[in-house]
Amino acid sequence: MIDLHVHSNRSDGTFSPRELVDYAMEKGLSAFALTDHDTVDGLEEAISYAETLRRSGTVPAESVPQVIAGIEFSTEYEGKDIHVLGLDIDYRTPAFVKHLKTFVESRDGRNQKMCDRLREQAGIDITYEKLTAEFPHSVITRAHYAKYLLNHGYIQNLSEAFERYVGDHCPCFVPREKVTPVQAVELILAADGIPVLAHPVLYRMSDARLEKLVSELKKAGLIGIEAVYSTYNAAEERQIRKLAKKYRLLISGGSDFHGDNKPGLDLAVGYGKLFLPDEIWTDLKKSKTKLLFTDMDGTLLRNDSTVSPAMKDALDQLTNAGHHLILSSGRPLPSILEVKKQAGLSYPHMLIIANNGALIYDCDAEAPILAQKICQRDIAAVVDMAHRWNLHIHGYTEKEIVCLEDNEELRFYRRRIHMPLKCVADIAAALPDGSYKLQTIHLTDRILLERFREALLSETDLGERLQLAFSNDRYLEILPRDAGKGNAIRYVTDYLPILRTHTYAAGDEENDISMIRAAHTGIAMANAGDRVKEAADVVTQGTNEEDGLLEILLSRFL
């Protein structure tokens, strides 16, 4: 059993971080996330104490819960307070620490102003120094003001403080600058954390407005959503689970335990019916596995289209460790599957990006998860223009190359792409359902292909619907506008979902540039062109023939 939303007295809870560890152990938790409001001050104490207990020998080590480093950001969205949790964050990351320092300074200034108003406008004997002395080591919230007023006899109950003094529309309230939910997600990702939208039901948004928020956060990199929460009824939990499924978000949950500040709400069980199995955290942790998107020809494969024994061994280790290998190629799917089988690259949960991103294929399901095609009308226009330029061009069915006739270009192409030919009188007419891509080939004149690309984009409206990229000096690929390896990376990362900060992409040709730029770590091979190397974060020392990609596997994955 776990709890992924817990507060200590370092923000507005009543238990110290150390006491939380003891209480979590008493409750039989295997893990809990300390997610104080806008602060990580309690994490070191909780994590260090838990580790000391494990080593002490006074209690069974397995009975000590894992303390997950977390935070709960208070943000603002269209006038509403929205909370975003960061789970398993690297809270020592310099950029993260710097942002929190700025955040604290802003919060302190706001609290100074609120104390001044309470003193000057309401005649209450309060200063910021007195307030912080009464609640040491705490992130001051309005709940602390309410307690101070109650402790000193200015109000009869806590609610009165919000009704008369510190509520949103009261004279002593001072709003503070807040980050947006998108900024919170980005900051959590920068700290290698898992961003989760906290208790969305509590925002009382319309379904459309909530979905708009979730959609925006998903685009920013949101991984999870709190679908299990202390106050949800069955219908509300179903609603959030449905939303999670639609946007491929992982399920998170927690009690939002605050100790005595939320009477009746207990750690792990909420108001008595909450239950979070360990599998929820297991699934969330999988979002931190690494994705290796690799081009095939000129990158993963040697020049004879094989994978070396050393490379195969490293890929076995990579996938055995839980990371994902995604083959990303301009080749059609049948050709990729052929190479995959010959090289023995059969791993669980494997995806393939084929046709330069126009098709993404799930090997386990033996079915596409994304398919984009050039429509028949545009095929006809491109083929007609290629004919006028006296260029070879062909398209594809699911299993065949569709061409006018066998020729020198196709014989060269089929040395590696072992697909049957379907010779027809009219390529467009033979492809009523469209084609994932079209391919022009010239074996000796890249300049001619470049001029053809420029003319197609400038002289027609096809550039609004298509894109063109070289996969080598002889092959110019024509794709749907929204295809491309870069867009495919983004789709796969969101589909799984995996943290974008855990994506790696390796390639050597122009059609790999969008993929290299889309990944968090872009890798260019030593044999890549200058433009590819300029787009990359890392350039290998060795070429594909020298297993240059192995350098990255050994240094970043194994």
- Specify burial of residue 148 (Cβ count, 10 A radius: 0-12, 13-18, 19+): buried
- 89, 193 Cβ separation under 8 angstroms: yes
User: How is residue 136 annotated by DSSP?
Assistant: T
Q: d(Cα 268, Cα 230) in Å, to the nearest integer?
A: 9
Q: d(Cα 453, Cα 331) in Å, to the nearest integer?
A: 20
With residue 292 as reference, give the H or E element that holds it: strand 291-294
Q: d(Cα 313, Cα 208) in Å, to the nearest integer?
A: 49
With residue 523 as reference, give the H or E element that holds it: strand 521-524
CB-based burial, 222-250: b 16+ in 10 Å, e otherwise:
bbbbbbbbbebeeebbebbeebbeebebb
Q: Which amino acid is at 346?
A: S
pTM of the model: 0.85
- 67, 34 Cβ separation under 8 angstroms: yes
Backbone angles phi, psi at 494, to 5 degrees: -75, -35
Q: d(Cα 267, Cα 549) in Å, to the nearest integer?
A: 48
Tens of pLDDT, residues 420-459: 999 999 999 999 999 999 999 999 999 999 999 999 999 8
Who's near 176: CB < 8 A, 6+ residues apart? Answer: 106, 107, 109, 110
Q: d(Cα 554, Cα 556) in Å, to the nearest integer?
A: 6
Closest CA to 364 of 345, 350, 344: 350
Q: d(Cα 88, Cα 191) in Å, to the nearest integer?
A: 9
User: How is residue 335 annotated by DSSP?
Assistant: H
Q: d(Cα 359, Cα 443) in Å, to the nearest integer?
A: 26
With residue 448 as reference, give the H or E element that holds it: helix 446-459
pLDDT for position 175:
78
Sheet holding 66-77: strands in order across? 2-6, 31-34, 66-77, 80-87, 194-197, 224-229, 250-254
Quote the tokens at residue 545: 């023939």
150 alpha carbon, distance to own chain's centre: 44
Q: d(Cα 532, Cα 299) in Å, to the nearest integer?
A: 12
Q: CA 479, 416, 401 angle in degrees (round to 5)? A: 50
User: How is residue 554 annotated by DSSP?
Assistant: I
What structural domains does the chain harbor?
A: 2-112+178-286 (3.20.20.140), 291-372+484-557 (3.40.50.1000), 376-480 (3.30.1240.10)
SS (H, E, C) 234-279: HHHHHHHHHHHHHCCCEEEEECCECHHHCCCCECCCECCCCCCCHH
- Specify burial of residue 113 (Cβ count, 10 A radius: 0-12, 13-18, 19+): middle
Query: What residues in the chain have per-residue pLDDT under 50?
Result: none
With residue 225 as reference, give the H or E element that holds it: strand 224-229
pLDDT for position 110:
83
Q: d(Cα 539, Cα 527) in Å, to the nearest integer?
A: 9
Helix spans in 268-308 (H): 278-286
Q: What does R_g of the chain's alpha carbons equal in angstroms?
A: 29
Q: End-to-end CA distance of the chain, in Å?
A: 31
Quote the tokens at residue 124: 């209450």
pLDDT for position 19:
97
Q: Which residues, listed in sequence order, are joined to residue 85 by a DSSP beta bridge?
A: 72, 196
